[in-house]
């Protein structure tokens, strides 16, 4: 019971200090709108909202989770405030879950902001929202744990930002968000299938626009595997590098 009290207080502190700040909330609203307007201005024609929505949702989750988590943990470690948590009487796995849950919740919120705008622009009937929620949740989890992996792999905030972009920007073009993986050059497809966002995007494409090609069950299982693997590697790095 005491461990879960600690979990709740760490989560509450992070939500209050980081994720519920007005700039971060506005970022979750403005970012997907900006992406939608960018595609509209580029095409100059009416948008296929249902075809565009999965990609915008994925980007909103990806940037909303990794941008905040990788920087905040790196900053807390730099200021040595994270060390106080490491010596607290709480299991390391539970501690890292407490530090990442706020980013997961924030990512899910960001992911559904484009849906709210899309409801005013097109008919979204016939969508299995339970599968959409499951897909967005796993995208948020894998993206958050990717941010955690980045945070425990660097020592400076600017390194975390640079390392984040090293992963994020290739995902925009290689994960099937707006360009189907099937039409990419053959030599790029192995890179696409090595990125977790490919499978998250395929889930949303299959459920929202009917254009998935991998299979829902396979995509869900692979995302779960990525989540477990990234979390395990990150906690191992914390034990090896941060706990002496």
> Higher-confidence residue: 242 or 69?
69
Residues 134-183 have pLDDT tens digits of: 999 999 999 999 988 888 877 776 777 777 788 888 888 888 887 888 88
* pLDDT at residue 2 is higher than 80: no
User: By C-alpha distance, which of 51, 225, 58 is closest to 135?
Assistant: 58
In which residue are the tokens 């779960």 written? 224
213 band by pLDDT with thresholds 50, 70 and 90: confident
φ/ψ of residue 87, rounded to 5: -95, 0
Whole-number average pLDDT of the chain:
82
User: By C-alpha distance, which of 59, 44, 72 is closest to 154?
Assistant: 72
DSSP string across 25-66: HHHHHHHHHHHHHHHHHHH-S---HHHHHHHHHHHHHHHHHH
> Higher-confidence residue: 66 or 43?
66
Query: Do 44 and 106 touch, CB atoms closer than 8 A?
Result: no
In which residue are the tokens 């994720």 written? 19
Residues 6+ apart with CB under 8 A from 137: 104, 108
Structure tokens at 26: 């506005």
Residues 6+ apart with CB under 8 A from 63: 31, 110, 168
> Higher-confidence residue: 203 or 74?
203
CA separation for the pair 92, 235 (Å, rounded): 8
Between helices 129-151 and 157-174, what is the axis angle to 10°?
A: 140
Q: How many CB atoms lie within 10 A of CB 160?
A: 26
pLDDT of residue 42: 56
Residues 6+ apart with CB under 8 A from 214: 198, 199, 202
Compute CA distances 224 → 145, 217, 220, 230, whole Å: 11, 11, 6, 10
Domain locations in the chain as residue ranges: 2-242
> What does pTM read for this prediction?
0.88
Residues 57-116 have pLDDT tens digits of: 898 888 888 877 777 777 777 767 777 776 767 788 888 888 889 889 888 988 888 888
């Amino acid at each position: 019971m005491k461990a879960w009290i600690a979990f709740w207080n760490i989560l509450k502190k992070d939500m209050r200090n980081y994720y519920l700040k007005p700039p971060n909330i506005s970022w979750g609203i403005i970012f997907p709108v900006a992406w939608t307007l960018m595609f509209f201005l580029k095409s100059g024609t009416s948008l296929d909202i249902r075809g565009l929505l999965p990609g915008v949702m994925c980007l909103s989750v990806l940037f909303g989770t990794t941008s905040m988590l990788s920087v905040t943990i790196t900053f807390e470690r730099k200021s040595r405030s994270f060390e106080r948590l490491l010596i607290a009487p709480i299991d390391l796995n539970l501690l890292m879950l407490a530090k990442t849950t706020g980013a997961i919740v924030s990512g899910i919120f960001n992911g559904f902001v484009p849906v709210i705008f899309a409801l005013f622009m097109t008919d979204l009937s016939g969508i299995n929202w339970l599968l959409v929620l499951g897909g967005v949740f796993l995208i948020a989890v894998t993206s958050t744990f990717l941010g955690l992996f980045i945070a425990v792999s660097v020592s400076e905030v600017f390194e975390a930002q640079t390392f984040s972009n090293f992963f994020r920007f290739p995902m925009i073009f290689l994960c099937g968000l707006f360009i189907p993986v099937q039409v990419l050059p053959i030599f790029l497809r192995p890179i696409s299938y090595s990125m977790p966002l490919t499978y998250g995007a395929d889930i949303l494409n299959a459920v929202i626009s009917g254009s998935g090609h991998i299979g829902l069950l396979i995509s869900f299982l692979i995302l779960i595997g990525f989540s477990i693997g990234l979390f395990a590697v990150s906690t191992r790095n914390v034990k090896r590098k941060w706990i002496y």
